[in-house]
């Protein structure tokens, strides 16, 4: 059977996973009466809840006796490591662009990677039935983007379709025949080359993704580059340096059929398969016949730009809600994560109870924390910090800069420009983007953007759209002002009392409600002033024998400010931690004892 291998790439929320759903339905992967969930490829709980793709996933459909292997890729820049690896498995890409928003920063990031590999894209202007769609303008913007990314003549001569993935149609013009996705299937068969199959050579494949299965153990997925492989044959795994790390007999070979992985007896060059039975082989290793000596070349992965410290939870409430609380458990879990997720690195710190985890951004690290939390872990999480590099020639400090693209209503553009200027962002472009909106593009240091998203939504009253992607390492931009307000710190252990909280409300918004467990050093609210304030949230009403009118009125408290994991990570300062347990997210000072805290502050100020 003929083969085609393609990846679907796009900016977040431009409709990749929804389009894959329709491609599978229209190719007959599901029975007519079969109940199929929306975004069937987003199989993880967090993916379903947030409506985002985190892990790249493979599927396959059959069309006119040709098997099309499709890889659905993440759209967020934080998960770009997934996209970089996946592109080496395919022979063509379908670039999806929103008919109203046009090319966005992540579109530029993934398209640049695809063009460098020599892949010829098919452009699909998706959501062409939106009332604010501007399909032909977006097509021209794609051409401009390709030109800016140094595309060759062949790549610039890209075919375009206009489509609605949600409604399941594609056409050569925006007003064309809106029946089904047949034009897209036919274009893939015509435009994407069949993989080069060197069947006579020894077997070799590059491991591109790694996952763990409770029944099969470690499963490595990749594309067979050369030769043929049969179940129960011997193979070896080599690192990029050519070092042999293990030899094994493969007991299980799986191929993708729709959303399922089905066992097959053999795999040929060009096919995308999953292999079980190896215990040490990792992502970017070469799996090959024993006689091969030279490993396959793996795609380089962009370095991490942000780091957090994951430590054992040492608060007075430690161990009450989670089952996995030791440093050994945390270490094993983080190392297992780093095995399959090449975009993060885990390193040990001077303190045996804490580990530094470096990744691409707050979202990526937040997803790891949320996953561990659901698995029963208790953690203490530090404020994110950017990874500073040093220029080897001048010794100058270099920090990561991001390209920030913002679409806002014209009335809010002034306050957004002002906020990003405070964060050392430099505006590179400002133009109308249709519908009364303005598109602003900035280059800003990544550390200035930590925690900005929530503030941005407040400034634009929830109407703004912000997209960020790593741009370059540049000269250190200098000091950036942090949080303007201090915090209210509990000075006692126990449960918060309504009477005390009512008296504290005038000091600033609270994060806790009556009967919430609190402890000394825990942050229970935000101080209205710029300094920290220690407070007693357990102060009870003094009982007397005197009664007076209005003395016993019911206490009416303002509901506490809800704190999500992302809010908490963005909110804390360098001397604070987020305590994460399966049931709670608490803010606390690094040093709980006020005397130790004051000594630490004095030591920092003397430096």
Percent of the chain scoring above 70 in pLDDT: 89
pTM reported for the whole predicted model: 0.75
Are residues 281 and 246 in contact, defined by beta-carbon separation less than 8 angstroms? yes
| C-alpha to C-alpha distance for 50 and 564, rounded to whole angstroms | 13
Q: Answer left, alpha or beta for residue 360, where phi above 0 means left and psi between -120 and 50 means alpha.
A: alpha
Q: How buried is 303 (Cβ within 10 angstroms: 0-12 exposed, 13-18 middle, 19+ buried)?
A: middle
Quote the CATH superfamily of domain 487-543+552-606. bipa protein (2.40.50.250)
Per-residue confidence (pLDDT) for residue 27, from 0 to 100: 66
Is 371 labelled a binding residue? no
Q: What radius of gyration do the chain's Cα atoms show?
A: 27
Rounded to whole angstroms, what are the CA distances from 521 to 312, 380, 410, 575, 590? 17, 14, 44, 11, 8
Are residues 355 and 309 in contact, defined by beta-carbon separation less than 8 angstroms? yes
Per-residue b/e over 336-367, b at no fewer than 16 CB within 10 Å? ebbebbbbbebeeeeeeebbbbbbbbbbbbbb
* Model confidence pLDDT, tens digit, residues 529-559: 888 899 998 888 777 666 555 555 677 888 8
Is 91 labelled a binding residue? no
Rounded to whole angstroms, what are the CA distances from 165 to 34, 151, 159, 192, 577? 20, 27, 17, 20, 43
Per-residue b/e over 130-154, b at no fewer than 16 CB within 10 Å? eeebbbeebbebbeebbeeeebeee
What's the mean per-residue pLDDT of the chain? 82
Query: DSSP assignment of 446-469, as one string?
Result: HHHHTTHHHHHHHHTTT--EEEEE
Per-residue confidence (pLDDT) for residue 174, from 0 to 100: 84
Is 17 labelled a binding residue? yes
Per-residue confidence (pLDDT) for residue 551, from 0 to 100: 56
Give pLDDT < 70 ranges for the chain: 1, 12-14, 16, 27-57, 74-82, 84, 258-259, 300-302, 340, 434-435, 544-553, 607
* Model confidence pLDDT, tens digit, residues 489-518: 999 999 998 888 888 888 989 999 989 999
Quote the CATH superfamily of domain 204-288. Translation factors (2.40.30.10)
Quote the CATH superfamily of domain 2-191. P-loop containing nucleotide triphosphate hydrolases (3.40.50.300)
Rounded to whole angstroms, what are the CA distances from 343 to 71, 305, 444, 449? 18, 10, 22, 20
Per-residue confidence (pLDDT) for residue 80, from 0 to 100: 55
Is 14 labelled a binding residue? yes
CATH class of 389-475: alpha beta
* Model confidence pLDDT, tens digit, residues 390-437: 888 888 888 888 888 888 888 888 899 999 999 899 999 888 876 678
| C-alpha to C-alpha distance for 263 and 208, rounded to whole angstroms | 19
Per-residue confidence (pLDDT) for residue 43, from 0 to 100: 45
Per-residue confidence (pLDDT) for residue 40, from 0 to 100: 43
Is 305 labelled a binding residue? no
Are residues 196 and 10 in contact, defined by beta-carbon separation less than 8 angstroms? no
Q: Where are the domains of the chain?
A: 2-191, 204-288, 389-475, 487-543+552-606
Is 13 labelled a binding residue? yes
């Amino acid at each position: 059977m003929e083969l085609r291998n393609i990846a679907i790439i796009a900016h977040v929320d431009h409709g990749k996973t929804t389009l894959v759903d329709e491609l599978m339905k229209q190719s007959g992967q599901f029975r007519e009466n079969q109940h199929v969930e929306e975004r069937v490829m987003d199989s993880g709980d967090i993916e379903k809840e947030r409506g985002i793709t985190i892990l790249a996933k493979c599927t396959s459909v059959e069309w006119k006796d040709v098997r099309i292997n499709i890889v659905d890729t993440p759209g967020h820049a934080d998960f770009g490591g997934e996209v970089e690896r996946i592109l080496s498995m395919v022979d063509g890409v379908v670039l999806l662009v929103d008919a109203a928003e046009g090319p966005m920063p992540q579109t530029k990031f993934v398209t640049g990677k695809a063009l460098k590999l020599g892949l010829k894209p098919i452009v699909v202007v998706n959501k062409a039935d939106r009332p604010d769609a501007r399909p032909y303008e977006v097509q021209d913007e794609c051409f401009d983007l390709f030109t800016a990314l140094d595309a060759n003549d062949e790549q610039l001569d890209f075919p375009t379709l206009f489509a609605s993935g949600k409604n399941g149609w594609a056409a050569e013009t925006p007003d064309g025949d809106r029946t089904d996705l047949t034009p897209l299937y036919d274009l893939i068969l015509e435009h994407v080359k069949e993989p080069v199959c060197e069947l006579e050579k020894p077997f070799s494949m590059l491991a591109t993704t790694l996952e763990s299965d409770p029944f099969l153990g470690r499963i490595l997925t990749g594309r067979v580059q050369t030769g043929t492989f049969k179940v129960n044959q011997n193979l070896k795994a080599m690192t990029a340096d050519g070092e042999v790390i293990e030899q094994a007999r493969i007991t299980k070979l799986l191929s993708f059929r729709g959303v399922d992985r089905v066992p097959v007896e053999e795999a040929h060059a060009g096919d995308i398969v999953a292999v079980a039975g190896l215990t040490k082989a990792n992502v970017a290793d070469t799996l090959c016949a024993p006689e091969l000596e030279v490993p396959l070349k793996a795609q380089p992965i962009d370095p991490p730009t942000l780091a957090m410290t994951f430590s054992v939870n040492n608060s007075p409430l430690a161990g009450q809600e989670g089952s996995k609380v030791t440093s050994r458990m945390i270490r094993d879990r983080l190392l297992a994560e780093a095995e399959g997720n090449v975009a993060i690195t885990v390193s040990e710190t001077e303190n045996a109870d804490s580990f530094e985890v470096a990744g691409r951004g707050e979202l990526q690290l937040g997803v790891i924390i949320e996953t561990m939390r659901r698995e029963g872990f208790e953690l203490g999480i530090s404020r994110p910090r950017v990874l500073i590099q040093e220029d080897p020639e001048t010794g100058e400090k270099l920090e990561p800069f991001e390209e920030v693209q913002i679409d806002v209503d014209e009335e809010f553009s002034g306050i957004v420009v002002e906020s990003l200027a405070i964060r050392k962002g430099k505006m590179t472009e400002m133009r109308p983007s249709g519908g009364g909106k303005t598109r602003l593009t900035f280059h800003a240091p990544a550390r200035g953007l930590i925690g900005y998203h929530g503030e941005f939504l407040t400034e634009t009253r929830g109407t703004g759209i912000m997209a960020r992607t790593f741009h370059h390492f540049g000269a250190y931009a200098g000091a950036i002002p942090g949080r303007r307000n201090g915090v209210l710190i509990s000075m006692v252990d126990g449960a918060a009392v309504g009477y005390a909280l009512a008296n504290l409300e005038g000091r600033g918004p609270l994060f806790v409600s009556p009967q919430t467990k609190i402890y000394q050093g825990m942050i229970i609210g935000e101080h209205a002033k710029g300094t920290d304030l220690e407070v007693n949230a357990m102060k009870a009403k003094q009982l007397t024998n005197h009664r007076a009118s209005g003395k016993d009125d019911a206490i009416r408290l303002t509901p506490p400010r809800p704190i999500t994991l992302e809010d908490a990570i963005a909110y804390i300062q360098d001397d604070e931690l987020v305590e994460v347990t399966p049931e709670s997210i608490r803010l606390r000072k690094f040093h709980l004892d006020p005397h130790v805290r004051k000594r630490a502050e004095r030591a920092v100020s003397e430096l």
